[in-house]
Amino acid sequence: MAGERHIDRTVIVTGAASGIGRGIAKRFGEEGANVVVADVRRDPKQGERYDTDVTTPTDELVSEGTPGDGTFVETDVGDPESVEAMVETAIDVYDGLDVLVNNAGIQIVGDSQTTSIEEWQRSIDVDLSGAFYCAKYAVPHLRESEGQIVNIGSVRGFEGGGGPPYAAAKGGVVNMTRDLAMELGEANVRVNCVNPGYIETPLQDINTDEDVEKSTEQTLLPHFGTPEDVGDAAVFLASDEASFITGANLAVDGGWLAHSGL
């Protein structure tokens, strides 16, 4: 999205109240988009519900002179009825939809023996099924607008790591991106995926010093990424400048996958 050409476009960003999703929503807002901030109302570090009014996360995202408008919609992407209601709200408020950013995700730390069946299912529900539910209900509107889908995957979708459910789900998102691109190309709806490496967010607080050291070794650049770095990539893939790009997987990883030989 470049400049005023995209003012008044409507963008749904899931998992947008914190972390990478927040960075993505801010960048779209700065470009003049109407941003639907879809998230469960929980503090990312404490697991508690926000005590403030439901519009507060959105107020913060579109404040300080950003030209876009914003609407917060409490959404559990693992629940198809919640997703359907979220999309309907976006259409009711803004009378259309131009971009869907499937960012919402959770990461269960563990291996095949320590991860419970319930943890596996919840992770798949949010990280993979959620992206499908959002696409299912958004695609009819994106066909009308010749819009875009930007999925947020992970380097773990290519090389594993991060726990069995997370790696499996992100690998699924990568391949679902290609499949949706094949389905929607004739409608001029583009579908692409951004695959972050180590991005500095509060959720990284679960990492040990050893984890951070390994990530430092894996990242070729002398710094980690920021949520805005991922936001820049998402904005580009949704822009006119990317009009001939679909079915692509863009690594925003500081060279992580290059280091892995992938």
* Residue of higher predicted confidence among 248 and 210: 248
Walk me through the domains of the chain, giving residue ranges and CATH numbers. 3-255 (3.40.50.720)
Q: In what helix (H) or strand (E) does residue 39 lie, and over which residues does it extend?
A: strand 34-39
Whole-structure pTM value:
0.88
Q: What is the pLDDT of residues 170-196, one digit of tens each?
A: 999 999 999 999 999 999 999 999 999
Give the whole-angstrom CA distance, residue 215 versus residue 201.
14
Can you say whether the dihedral through the CA atoms of 147, 28, 72, 162 is positive or negative? positive
- Which of 28-42, 125-139, 177-191 is least confident? 28-42
CA dihedral 81, 86, 89, 94 (to 10 degrees): -150
Q: What is the pLDDT of residues 107-118, one digit of tens each?
A: 888 999 999 999
Q: Would you say residue 43 has pLDDT above 50?
A: no
Q: What is the pLDDT of residues 189-221, one digit of tens each?
A: 999 999 999 998 866 656 677 778 888 999 999
The CA-based angle 5-229-130, given to 5 degrees, is 85
50 noted as active-site residue = no
Q: Which of 133, 137, 166, 198 is catalytic?
A: 166
What pLDDT score does 250 carry? 97
Q: At what angle do helices 80-94 and 130-145 cross, to 10 degrees?
A: 30
